[in-house]
Chains A and B, each alone.
Chain A
């Protein structure tokens, strides 16, 4: 069953803790993305990666970090420096970061800071 998986589905964090969100794809896509979704604001790009061992900051990268050691995996770490981390986080992938390439999304992780 091909697709994008994200885990966990729900995540609770205490203030001051770092947490890592998992994103895995078996679509053989080169490009992967992380978005944050807040009510009434649509999706905002955090980081993206066009190829293994390379990634770029998106519009709201402060307080987040990523790695891309494998083609299939693009984990996102929410650090204690992120001032308002409670949100719904969506991972996406596309064949390549080209203008006609459709992005396909995972089911999301809802992060709540206690």
Chain B
């Protein structure tokens, strides 16, 4: 079975500081990993994904994520946070060895960027 964990329900960071939102996963095969962002009462917006290749993935709005196979992690990062980055962030995983192509989502991390 595949699973994903976001250990922090809430992350607070000052504007201009770097931010990190943590994600760890568990799969049987190789992982396909995704980050989405959700603003209040809106759908999810795709930020970036890791399928294969370079461990550092760059995405939308200046976000990036680093795939670490030994630590089974896929943390989301941004060098300089903006107040407008405040939102709910979801990590998701899909197991490449699974028979059904399904995403499993983490419980979400609420990011608040303080001015």
Alpha-carbon distance between A58 and B100 when the two chains are bound, in angstroms: 10
B28 located at the interface, meaning its Cβ lies under 8 Å from any Cβ of chain A in the complex: no
A45 located at the interface, meaning its Cβ lies under 8 Å from any Cβ of chain B in the complex: yes
B-chain residues with CB within 8 Å of residue A58 when the two chains form the complex: 102
Given A97-B101, A102-B34, A102-B49, is A42 in contact with B41 using a C-beta cutoff of 8 Å?
no
B-chain residues with CB within 8 Å of residue A6 when the two chains form the complex: 43
Given A56-B100, A98-B101, A100-B51, is A107 in contact with B43 using a C-beta cutoff of 8 Å?
yes
In-complex Cβ contact of B107 among A42, A88, A99 (8 A): A42
Nearest-neighbour CB distance to chain A for B88, whole angstroms, equals 10
Number of interface residues of A (CB under 8 A): 28
B-chain residues with CB within 8 Å of residue A102 when the two chains form the complex: 34, 46, 49
In the complex, per-residue mask of B36-55: 1 if CB is within 8 Å of any chain A CB, else 0: 10000111111001010000
Q: Which residue of B lies closest to A106 (CB)?
A: B43
A90 touches B43 (CB 8 A): yes
B94 touches A99 (CB 8 A): yes
Q: Which residue of B lies closest to A107 (CB)?
A: B43
